[in-house]
Structure 1
Amino acid sequence: MTHETFEQRPLPTPAPKAPRSGNPDTQLFTQVDINPAQLQRTGMVSPDGERSAIAEEFRLIKRPLIDKAFNQKSGARRGNLIMVTSALPGEGKTFCAINLALSIAMEKDHTVLLVDADIARPSVPRALGFQSEVGLMDILLDRSLQLSDVLLKTNIDRLRILPAGTSHKHATELLASQAMTNLLEEIASRYPDRIIIFDSPPLLPTTEARVLASQMGQIVLVVEAESTTQHAVKEAIRQLGPSSANVNLVYNKAEKFPGGSYYGSYYN
């Protein structure tokens, strides 16, 4: 899997808020537009794009996650809450979280909510080309705010986004709070067909990721090819504690797998 650096480009202003309605899913007052052509240029999955190697890779990644999310026999509590993290910064976790969400948005029977939970270094808005001010942290700090006040609707029909919101020095404590538990219960159960993808901080340099992991149903650990050491991966899994039983590894930024040229020629 390859990973291209996100291009810096002017950020569009979100569309004006729409009037409230009685339907909870239409109370997503702000819409942001994601440019499908820009997704393709940055090497990401594009719902409107042609069949590609990157799209097929994320089809393979998402299928067991979706199956486990809605399979009651799997025993995964909140299996539709999926955290994407890494041992260290720069391994491509945000790239993988966004692509996983975009791929799931192509499903016919599921919707997806992408949560930017990397409070210290939120990257989802920049990567997708929009600006945001309020989000996850603001809901936890301000009891007058509701989820529908900060949730963003996108021009990709089945994709919603919850930005990180205002940075806060007590982010770890807020993520461990009862308010966060209540929020997770709400977003996990409000829509039975929805999968929630969390772009988490890396595990080793932060404490927020470990707190978040304790409330997730599944964890995707992104490992940078030929860079991340075995020791770092083992330590990251160790820090997950009981949550390590639900870890899935994704090998990222690999130049070529055995047989890679065959698959590349097939999709080209």
Structure 2
Amino acid sequence: MALNEAPADVPGAPPAADGAPAPRHVEINLDRLQQLGMVTHEGGRTPAAEDFRLIKRPLLRGARGEGGVAIPQGNLIVVTSALPGEGKTYCAVNLAMSIAMERDITVLLVDADVARPSVLKVLGLAAEPGLMDILLNDQLALADVILRTNVATLSVLPAGRANKHATELLASRSMRRLLKEIAERYADRVVIFDSPPLLITTEASVLAAQMGQVVLVVEAETTTQHAVREALRQLEPCANVNLIYNKTKAFPGNDYYGYYD
């Protein structure tokens, strides 16, 4: 598997000396995201923006190894849920957008929900080759499929084409090498993975086991305690698990709503 990611995916970096292609550039419709109530750089102090400012802080401390022992590959953060429809992709995109506002960090948002990819759809982008294509094609490099965006510090890696052996591919040595490359190539990079739901596919637990930090999204007043317990049971091998209680109602007299760490 070719892992030679051109440094050009880092904002301001020059083209690779070996002639590797610079990542493609795509335009996210930020006005559309703002109208949907999502986090954007120019969106101001919206409820979602304020909530994700709180949510990202402990994750960034873990990614940077602040306040204690450094978390191995702590800059690899997977966002998952017990069941579909709990808002994991919405949270993954908002978390990536919020972290991309940091002054000294670049963010790579990876759509790892390879059976039902939706990151590009949320961002208003067309389907593109991505993660599965790299794992299936030894001649394909990360730089061939990574997408730079009009948010200078945010890049996107699509899910790519579906494959019936997705679980085995995500558990493969090629995937482990790719994750090591993604985690270590740039010290200032945080990588957010949108994962499949834990109780629907086997891919989710395989992916989570390879991450430094896990974020489990729980839908308020909908996800059952049994589903949460089963999801947490599958995450037992993971040392750093965080929960987001999503879709909460506003408290009386409180304008902020929706996401709490």
**Fold-level similarity (TM above 0.5):** yes
Q: CA deviation at 1:263?
A: 4.0
Q: Does 1:54 align with 2:51?
A: no
> May I ask how many residue pairs the two structures share in their alignment?
242
C-alpha separation in 2, matches of 1:49 and 1:250: 22
Partner Cα distance (2:222, 2:193) in 1: 24
Q: 2:254 aligns with which of 252, 259, 262?
A: 262
- Say if 2:125 is the partner of 1:130: yes
C-alpha displacement at 1:43, in angstroms?
1.2
Which aligned pairs between 1:208-247 and structure 2 lie closer than 5 A? 208-243=203-238, 245-247=239-241
Q: Which segments of 5 or more consecutive residues in structure 1 lack a partner in the other structure?
A: 1-19
Displacement of 1:238 in angstroms is 0.3
Residue 96 of structure 1: how far off its partner (Å): 0.0
Gaps of 5+ in 2: 1-13
Aligned structure 1 segments of 4 or more residues deviating by more than 6 angstroms: none
Corresponding residue for residue 6 of structure 2: none
RMSD over aligned CA atoms reads 1.7
- The residue correspondences of 1:244-255 to structure 2 (distance < 5 A) are 245-255=239-249
Contact kept, 8 Å, 1:151 with 1:160, in 2: the verdict is yes
Secondary structure of residue in 1 paired with 2:192: strand
| Alpha carbons 1:116, 1:198 under 8 Å: kept | yes
| Contact 1:28 1:152 survives alignment (8 Å) | no
Equivalent in the alignment of 1:105 = 100
In 1, the alpha carbon distance for the partners of 2:212 and 2:115 equals 23
How far the C-alpha of 1:74 sits from its partner, in A, is 3.1
Partner of 1:140: 135
Inter-partner Cα distance in structure 1 for 2:145 and 2:164: 21
- Aligned partner letter, 2:93: I
Aligned positions of 1:67-82 closer than 5 A: 67-71=61-65, 73-82=68-77
TM-score (norm: length of structure 1): 0.87
Comparing 204-213 with 44-53, greater Cα deviation is found at 44-53
Identity of aligned residues (%): 61
Q: 2:164 aligns with which of 160, 169, 183?
A: 169
Aligned match of 1:5? none
Scaled by the length of structure 2, what TM-score is found? 0.89
Compare the two structures and name the one with the higher helix fraction: 1
SS at 1:250's partner residue?
Answer: strand
Structure 1 residues 91 and 28: CA distance shift in structure 2, 3 A: farther
Tell me the equivalent position of 2:7: none
Q: How many Å apart are 1:28 and its aligned residue?
A: 3.6
